[in-house]
Amino acid sequence: MPLAFCGSENRSAAYRVDQGVLNNGCFVDALNVVPHVFLLFITFPILFIGWGSQSSKVHIHHSTWLHFPGHNLRWILTFMLLFVLVCEIAEGILSDGVTESRHLHLYMPAGMAFMAAVTSVVYYHNIETSNFPKLLIALLVYWTLAFITKTIKFVKFYDHSISFSQLRFCLTGLLVILYGMLLLVEVNVIMVRRYIFFKSPREVKPPEDLQDLGVRFLQPFVNLLSKGTYWWMNAFIKTAHKKPIDLRAIGKLPIAMRALTNYQRLCEAFDTQAQKDSQSTQGARAIWQALCHAFGRRLVLSSTFRILADLLGFAGPLCIFGIVDHLGKENRVFQPKTQFLGVYFVSSQEFLANAYVLAVLLFLALLLQRTFLQASYYVAIETGINLRGAIQTKIYNKIMHLSTSNLSMGEMTAAQICNLVAIDTNQLMWFFFLCPNLWAMPVQIIVGVILLYYILGVSALIGAAVIILLAPVQYFVATKLSQAQRSTLEYSNERLKQTNEMLRGIKLLKLYAWENIFCTRVEMTRRKEMTSLRAFAVYTSISSESTRPAPCTAPLKVVNRKHPAREDCRGFSAPLQRLAPSADGDADSCCVQIIGGFFTWTPDGIPTLSNITIRIPRGQLTMIVGQVGCGKSSLLLATLGEMQKISGAVFWNSPEAVSFLPCCSPERETVADSDVRKRGPVAYASQKPWLLNATVEENITFESPFNKQRYKMVIEACSLQPDIDILPHGDQTQIGERGINLSGGQRQRISVARALYQHTNVVFLDDPFSALDVHLSDHLMQAGILELLQDDKRTVVLVTHKLQYLPHADWIIAMKDGTIQREGTLKDFQRSECQLFEHWKTLMNRQDQELEKETVVERKATEPPQGLPRAMSSRDGLLQDEEEEEEEAAESEEEDNLSSVLHQRAKIPWRACAKYLSSAGILLLSLLVFSQLLKHMVLVAIDYWLAKWTDSALTLSPAARNCSLSQECSLDQTVYAMVFTVLCSLGIVLCLVTSVTVEWTGLKVAKSLHRSLLNRIILAPMRFFETTPLGSILNRFSADCNTIDQHIPSTLECLSRSTLLCVSALAVISYVTPVFLVALLPLAVVCYFIQKYFRVASRDLQQLDDTTQLPLLSHFAETVEGLTTIRAFRYEARFQQKLLEYTDSNNIASLFLTAANRWLEVRMEYIGACVVLIAAVTSISNSLHRELSAGLVGLGLTYALMVSNYLNWMVRNLADMEIQLGAVKRIHGLLKTEAESYKGLLAPSLIPKNWPDQGKIQIQNLSVRYDSSLKPVLKHVNALISPGQKIGICGRTGSGKSSFSLAFFRMVDTFEGRIIIDGIDIAKLPLHTLRSRLSIILQDPVLFSGTIRFNLDPEKKCSDSTLWEALEIAQLKLVVKALPGGLDAIITEGGENFSQGQRQLFCLARAFVRKTSIFIMDEATASIDMATENILQKVVMTAFADRTVVTIAHRVHTILSADLVIVLKRGAILEFDKPEKLLSRKDSVFASFVRADK
C-alpha cells in the first residue's frame, strides 16, 4: 500500500489549496508538527550535555531538588496530554485503515507530539533538579506555538461544520485546553520565580530536609511520576542486595514526618477542640475528633485515590464485555461512514467499538487504576505511621505524669502500657489504613449493581438481594470473630503474664520443685487460648471476608485518666497561696519541710502516712529509721510528690526550672503538683535498684557530662572497680535487661553510684545497704556518703536499717506505723526517748553510751575487700567474651566471603518450612495439599464451563436466541445450569474444607510447638537462664508464638492460593492463546529479578522494623519501672527526647518497608497490565481469524486481569512467610537446649517417705562450678553438720556463699566430691524429690500475682491454720489480717503493693510452710530492719530447734548465736568452728567481721 504524508489517491482533497492554505487539512496537520520538531531540536543537546555533567551531582546532592510553582499540576496535565495523544494516534490509525493509501498526517503529528510531551517533562525534571529555571524559556516558546497551531486546527474543524459527534474534533478541543493550561503554568513560574523579564530573580532555597544529606526517605520530595512508581527506591533496593540495610542506610525522617511534629499537630488539634467546646475534651469521642482534625486531610486524599481506583477498576470488565461483544458480531470489519477534508472521521461510538482500541484502553486503565490504588495504600499507611508516632509520644508524656499509685496498686501495669504501645497503637495505625474501605466498599457495590443491571437486567437485582440478605450473616460472623479475637487476646495476655512471672521466678521454682505447678498453670491458660483460636479459625473459615476489629480508642484512654495527681498538661497558672515556714532563718537552713501531711496511694484509700510534720535540714545527713512497713520509703516518695496528698503542705527551698515536651489538655493543678514543681532535681537511689539497658558508665553518669576525676571517686567510693575489672568490656559492658548480668549487690552499688555522681544539691538514698555485705556497706558509708556527699555540703536523706550508722547522722527521723515517732539529733533521742535509744543500743550490740565511731578504724585493720562479683557475673562475662570472639570471627568471615553471605540472604528458609509442616503430621498435610489442588481445579472448571455456556448462547441464530418455549433449547440450558450448580456447590465445599484444613494445621503446629517449648524451657538448667536474656526467652513465647498462632496459617493459605491461582491463570491464558507463552518468558525473567531483589530488601527492612521497635518498647518499660527516679532527677525532658529518637527510628524503618511493598506491587501490577495487553491483542487476532470463540477470549482476558493481583500476593506472601518462618527457626533453636537430668539413680521405692528426717549433712571434698568451661567456685570443701545444728556462713562478696547453698539443690555442676544427707548421696536422688524435701529463702524476694494463699502454698497441701502459723512466725499475721480477704487478699505483679521488707517476710513465711528438716537462709533478712530480724532469728532458733538451719549472712551479728560458723574465702573454707572459739582467736577472720559489723 503506497505511503505518503497526505495520501496518494487520485483527486485527493488533501492536496487542494484553492480555498486557502489553512483550509487544507493536511497543511494544518503539517503546521502542527513544527512546535514538536522545534522542542526536540532545542532540548536534545541540552539534555545530553546536562545529563553528562549533572546527573552524578543530582543523585549525590539532592539538596538542589526544588519544585517550581505548579509542579504537580504540570505533571498531571502532561499525563492527561499523553493520554489524549495516544487516543489521537489510535483514532488516526483507525480512520486511515480503510483508505487506499496511508495518510501519515492523521497520526504522525500526534506521534511527534507524544515524543515532544515526553521530552518536555524529562527536560523540565532535569532543569528542576539542577535549579536552573532560565532554561524553561524553551518550554514557554513550545507551549505557545503548540497552543496556537492546535487552536488553528480546531477553528478550521469548526469552520467545516465538524462537530462533537466526531472524536477527532473532541480530541483537538481537549489538546487546545491542555496546551493552554500548560502555557499558563509556565507563565506562573515566570511570575513567581522572575527568572526572565524581571531585573532581580527570586532566590528560593530547597526545603530544610533536602539540605540535610542524612534524609534519605525522598517520597515527599520527588516528582509525581517517581512518587507514583516509587522510582527513587530503585537505587535503595539495588544497594540492599549488595549490602545489608541498617539504620545508617535509611537515614533520618523528614521533618514533617517526625514524631515531635505530629505530636505537636495532635496537641494543636486538642487545643482547637478545647477552645470550641471545653466540655468535650474527655473520652473516646474527643480523641477521635482530635485525630480526625490532625490527620483527616490525608485520610480524605487516600480515600479519593481509592474511590478513583475502584471506579477505574470497572473499566476492566466493561472493556472485556466490549471486546467479547465486538468479536461475537458476524460483521467484524470496521467501516467509517463520515468524510471531511478528504479523510474519514470516526465517531466516539465507532472508536470504542473496536476490540484493539478497547485492549489499549484496558491496558491504560489498569496502569492508572493500580497506580491510584497503591497511592491510596501508601498515603493511608504513612498517615497511620505518623499518627502512631504522635500517639506513642502522647502516651509517653502521660506516663511521665502518671501517679505512682496507678502503677504500684496494679491499676496500670508495665505490661498494659507495653501493650498500648506495641499492639494498640499499631491497631490504630492499621485502622487508618483500612479506613478508606469504609466508603470505598459501598461505592464499589452500588456501581457494580448498576452496571450489572445495565448488562443483565433484573437478574442483577437478584444478586444484589442475595448480598443484602447475607449482610446480617456477615455481621453475625464478624461479631463472633471480634468476640473470639478479644477472648484470644485476653487469654494470650494472661498466659504471657504467667510465663513472665514463671521465668522471672524460675530460680525459686526450681529450688522449691514447683516447675510442674506453674507449667500446668500456663498450660491451662494456653488451652483456653487455643479454644478461642479454634473458634476464631472456624468463623474465619465461614466468613468469606473476615474483618478483624481493632480496639482503636484503647491507646488514648490512658491519656484521659482522671485519678492521677499528675495530668498531661502544658503549663499552669501561678502557684496557689499557701502557708510559708514561720521564720526566714529556718527557711534558709531547711531544705524540705512537711507540715500536717496526710498521704495515700489511692485517691479514696486510707492514708498510708498520717500527720507528717518533719523538716530536713539543708546540707546535712538525715537518717530515717523504723520497722519494716512503717512507711520510710513512702515518706521519701511523698516528699518527691509521688503520693496522693490528702492534706497538709510540702515546702521545697530549691526552686529550679523544669522543662517538658509541649503538651495539651491543661487541667487543674493540685497543691501537691505545685509544690513538687518548685523543687529542683534530686539524686534518688530507690530501694529496688533501677538500671538502664546501657553500659555501666552510662548508668552511672546518667546523661550528665563525663568528669573523669569525679567518676573515679564515685567508682572507688562504691567499691565498683574490682567488679568493673572482671566484666568483659570493663565499664563499657552493656548491662542486660533489669541488670540481669549483675548480682544484687552490684546493681545496688551502681544505682547508688548514679546518685553520688550527679551534681544535685539533694540526695535521697532508700536503703542502699540492703544487698551489700558489711565491708562494702562500711566503705560506701565512709567514702561515699560521709566524704563525697557531706564534704560537698549536700543534703542527704538516708533510709536504713543499719542502726550502727546513726552516730553519723545530723538529723534522725524515727517512724512507726505510718507516723513520725520523733525527729531530732541522736542526743535529742538520748534525752527524750530513752527507751527507744536503749532499744537501738541493744540492737547494735553496743555497751558504749556515746556509740563512738569505731567502725572505720577497725575496718582499716581488716583485710581490704576483694569486691569480686558473684559467680553469675563472672560467668556472664566469660560467656560474653566467647560470644564476642564468635561474632568477630563471623565478621571476618563475612568480609572474606561477602558473596556467599549475600547468597544466603537471598535464599528461602525451606528447612524451617519443612519443620513447620512436619509438625502438622502426614494426614493433615496430605489433606491440605489434596484439597488445595482439587479446589483450584474446580474453580477453573467453573470458569471454563461458563465460557462454553456463553459460546453456545452466542452461536445461536438471532431468531433462535429467545427460545424459552423451545424444548430443545430449554434442554440445553438445563444441562448447562445443572453442571454449573454442581460445580459451584463443590467449589464452596472445597473452599470451606481447605480453609478449615489450613487453620487446623496451623493450630496443631502452634499447640505442639508451644507445649514442646514450655516443657523444654521449664526443665532447662539454671545456667541457661543466667546466660540468656529474659526478654529473648519471653519473645519466643510472645511474638514468635503469636506469629505461629495467627500469622503463619493465614500467610501459608494466601501463599498457596495466590501461587495456584497464578499458575492456573497463566495456564488458561496459554491454553486460549499459545502465542502468549513466547511473551511470557521475558515477563517471567523480569518478575523473577524483581521478587529476588525485593525479598532481600523486604526481609532486612522487616527485621529493622522489629529491631527498632524493641528499644522503643524497652524504653517505655524502663521508664515505667524507673518513673520515680526519672522524675526525682527531673530528667523527663531527656527521656522524652530519647523516646522521640526511638520512635523516629522505628517509623523510618516502617516507612521504608511500606515504600518497598508499594515498589513491588506497582511493578507487579504493571507486569500484570502487560500480560493483559499481550493476552488481549493475541486473543483478538486469533478470534478475528476465526480460530477462537468469543467466550474463550473473555475467559482468557478475565484471568489475565487477575494475574497482577496473584503475582503481587505471591511475592508478598513469599517474603512474609520467609520472615515469619524465622519464628519457627528461633523456637527450634531453643528446643535444642539440654534439660537438667531429673531422673535419679535411686528408684522412688528406695527413698524413705519422710527423708530427710534428721537433717544430718556430710560434705566430702566438694568442688562445684557453674559450667564445665568455667573455674570452680567451691574447691575441696569438707564439713559435717549434725542434725538440728544451726550453721552460719559468712564471707566477702564472691567467696562462694550462695554457690554453697545452691550445691544442696544440685543447681550447680558438682564435678568432684559429694553431699550426703541422712545417709543418701543427693547425686543419686531424682531432682524433683531432692528439691521438694529441702527449703531455702533467697536474697531477692519473689512474689507472684495472685492470692497470698497461692504464694505461700501453690501446691494446696496446707490448712489455713498452718498458713496463719507461718505468717505469725514471719511477723506478718497482723498485716495480712488487716487486708480485705485475709489469705485471699491479692498480691499484684511482683508484689508491688507491699514494701521490699514485707516481700522478704512473705518469702520467709513460704519457707516456714514447708516444714522440712533442712532450712537454708541465703541473706534472707537483708531488707529487714534489725528489730524484726532479731525477732525472726529468735523464732527460727526456737521454732526450728529440731531442724538443721544454714544461714548465709551479710550482717555477721545475726549468726553469733549459731552452733557453728563457716567462713569462706575464694571458694574454700577458711574457718569452721564454734563462734565463741573463733571470736577468742586474735587472728580470726570471723572476729574481724564481727568487729566491722558493730
Residue 1174 pLDDT greater than 80, yes or no: yes
Residue count (the chain): 1494
SS3 state at 657: coil
The whole-number pLDDT of residue 13 equals 54
E strands, 397-549, are none
The whole-number pLDDT of residue 544 equals 42
Highest mean pLDDT among 852-866, 1114-1128, 1136-1150: 1136-1150
In 1184-1207, which positions are buried (b, 16+ CB within 10 angstroms) versus exposed (e)?
eeeebbbbbbbbbbbbbbbbbbbb
- Mind listing the pLDDT tens digit for each residue in 702-747? 888 888 888 888 888 888 888 888 777 788 887 766 666 677 778 8
> What average pLDDT is seen over the chain?
77
Could you tell me the strand order of the sheet in which 1414-1418 lies?
1335-1337, 1414-1418, 1444-1448, 1286-1290, 1460-1465, 1468-1473
Q: What is the 3-state secondary structure (H, E, C) of 834-882?
A: HHHHHHHHHHCCCCCCCCCCCHHHHHHHCCCCCCCCCHHHHHHHHHHHH
Mean pLDDT of 1101-1127: 84
- Predicted TM-score (pTM) of this structure: 0.73
SS3 state at 145: helix
Could you count the other beta carbons within 10 Å of the beta carbon of residue 1156? 24
Residue 82 pLDDT greater than 90, yes or no: yes
Mean pLDDT of 1473-1491: 82
The whole-number pLDDT of residue 567 equals 33
User: In the 8-state DSSP scheme, what is residue 802?
Assistant: -
Cα distance between residue 46 and residue 1073, in whole Å: 46
Lowest-pLDDT choice from 118-122, 596-600, 965-969, 1270-1274: 965-969
Residue 253 pLDDT greater than 50, yes or no: yes
Grid-cell match 498453670, residue found? 521
SS3 state at 402: coil
**If we measure between CA atoms, which residue out of 931, 1158, 1061 comes closest to residue 233?**
1158
The whole-number pLDDT of residue 557 equals 34
Contact of 1322 with 1316, CB cutoff 8 Å: yes
Could you count the other beta carbons within 10 Å of the beta carbon of residue 1130? 19
* Residues forming a β-bridge with 1346: 1387
Q: Which three cell numbers stand for residue 1323?
A: 547425686
Residue 1453 pLDDT greater than 70, yes or no: yes
Contact of 1164 with 1204, CB cutoff 8 Å: yes
Q: Which three cell numbers stand for residue 107?
A: 497520526
Mean pLDDT of 1352-1370: 83
- Mind listing the pLDDT tens digit for each residue in 460-471? 777 778 778 877
Percent above pLDDT 70 for the chain: 81
What band does 81 get if pLDDT is binned at 50, 70 and 90? very high
- Mind listing the pLDDT tens digit for each residue in 889-943? 333 333 334 444 444 444 556 676 777 777 776 777 777 788 878 888 888 888 8
Cα distance between residue 1174 and residue 178, in whole Å: 31
Cα distance between residue 420 and residue 392, in whole Å: 9
Contact of 139 with 124, CB cutoff 8 Å: yes
Cα distance between residue 730 and residue 720, in whole Å: 11
Q: Which three cell numbers stand for residue 661?
A: 515536651
Mean pLDDT of 1476-1480: 84
Q: Could you tell me which residues come within 8 angstroms of residue 1102 by beta carbon, excluding any fewer than 6 positions away? A: 1153, 1215, 1219
Lowest-pLDDT choice from 386-390, 536-540, 1161-1165, 1364-1368: 536-540
In 796-832, which positions are buried (b, 16+ CB within 10 angstroms) versus exposed (e)?
bbbbbbbbbbbbbbebbbbbeebebeebeebeebbee
Q: How far is CA 194 from the centre of its chain?
A: 49
* Residues forming a β-bridge with 1415: 1335, 1445
Q: Could you tell me which residues come within 8 angstroms of residue 551 by beta carbon, excluding any fewer than 6 positions away? A: 424, 427
Cα distance between residue 1432 and residue 1398, in whole Å: 13
What band does 64 get if pLDDT is binned at 50, 70 and 90? low
Cα distance between residue 95 and residue 161, in whole Å: 18
Mean pLDDT of 687-708: 85
Q: Which three cell numbers stand for residue 883?
A: 560470644
Mean pLDDT of 52-76: 65
Q: Could you tell me which residues come within 8 angstroms of residue 864 by beta carbon, excluding any fewer than 6 positions away? A: none
The whole-number pLDDT of residue 54 equals 45
What band does 25 get if pLDDT is binned at 50, 70 and 90? low
At position 1241, the amino acid (one-letter code) is L
Q: Which three cell numbers stand for residue 1109?
A: 521497635
Crossing angle of helices 108-130/137-159, nearest 10°? 150
E strands, 238-374, are 338-340, 343-345
